[in-house]
Each structure stands twice: as structure tokens, then as C-alpha cells.
Chains A and B, each alone.
Chain A
Amino acid sequence: AQSVSQHNHHVILSEAASLELGCNYSYGGTVNLFWYVQYPGQHLQLLLKYFSGDPLVKGIKGFEAEFIKSKFSFNLRKPSVQWSDTAEYFCAVNIGSGNTGKLIFGQGTTLQVKP
């Protein structure tokens, strides 16, 4: 069955520390990959996405992610986190086709950044 695994469930960092959140998926077909973020009290927002082309994609707020096809991974990185990055982060794989998507989500990673 298709699945998405996020290795870190709860991460605590100090401001200016570097961040890397792991995401692996199990699906043999063509995938579109996403990272969503949910800030406290807010709705899910798109952070970045990969559909094709350059496997290193840049998103909002200085985040980037690298798609490594051979490792079925799509890890999220940020060189220097800020207190405002405190949120829950979700990796998702879209295995849909035709007129609709089908997002499979990871369990989420709660990031707490200490000022």
C-alpha cells in the first residue's frame, strides 16, 4: 500500500539552527510531492512542491526540498530557522491521475523553535 513516512515526530531547535525533516514514500509510479505547513491556529498551507525538473525546489520563507528518486525521499531543509517557523509540517505524495488528486500524507512533524 502507498504510504508516506516522516521520521521526526517532534523536533526542538534554537533560532538560527539548521533544519532537515525527513520524508520517504512508498509508491512505484510517477508522483507529485508536497510539503504543507500548519501554523498554530491556521489552516494547512503549501510550503513547496515538486512535479518535475530540477529535483531541488525552493519554497516560501527560505525552505527548500530535494527529491531523490532512488531513495524515494523528499526531505525538507532550511539553513536557519526562526521562532516564527514553529508549526506542524506535513509531507504528502499525490498519486492521483486524470481530473483529481489523491494525497497521501505523512504523520506530520511538530517543529518547536526556541527564541
Chain B
Amino acid sequence: DTAVSQTPKYLVTQMGNDKSIKCEQNLGHDTMYWYKQDSKKFLKIMFSYNNKELIINETVPNRFSPKSPDKAHLNLHINSLELGDSAVYFCASSLQRNTIYFGEGSWLTVV
């Protein structure tokens, strides 16, 4: 069973579209994250949710909106996609700031 699963794995879409990436963890963790890995392979945190409450909201455009319907899910919705949004988005989870488990990544390409 996959511990942290995110879908879709690959997404190619046109500029201006709205898209969502879904994430689910079955580890019983209390904290979930979204990270972005840019073309230079540098990872940066975007959002962190603890027990469905937004804890970290980095300097991310308002077009990015996370939604956590329950502790096991943290979805990322992106409005009005831009070319610069092309990246790999990783979902992750942890329990009380311990070991972090990452999803396999979602490759987003905006054309």
C-alpha cells in the first residue's frame, strides 16, 4: 500500500487553465505538506497543514489554494496556470515533526 499517494503523476495543460493535484496519506499522520521542486531541482515548501489547519503559507501566489477536507487529504488547486508554474509538486506527511514521507511527485507542464 502506498503511504503517500498523489495524482496525477503527470499533467500537461495550457496556460490559463485551472487544475488540481490530489494527495492522500494512509499513515495516520497529523501534518501534510506541499513542496515545489523547480527546474534547478531546488525544493521549497509551499504549504503545511496540521490537523486540517493551515500552519505554513509561504510566499505563494494566491492562484495556489490548498484544501484539506480531512487529516488524510491535502489537495492543491491552481488557478489560471502560468508557464512558470511548471515544476514537480511533492506532497508529504509527517507525525509530530518526525520523519517525513514523500509522495512520488506530480510533474506539471504548462504549455
A, B in one complex: no
Chain B residues near A (Cβ < 8 Å): none
Chain A residues near B (Cβ < 8 Å): none
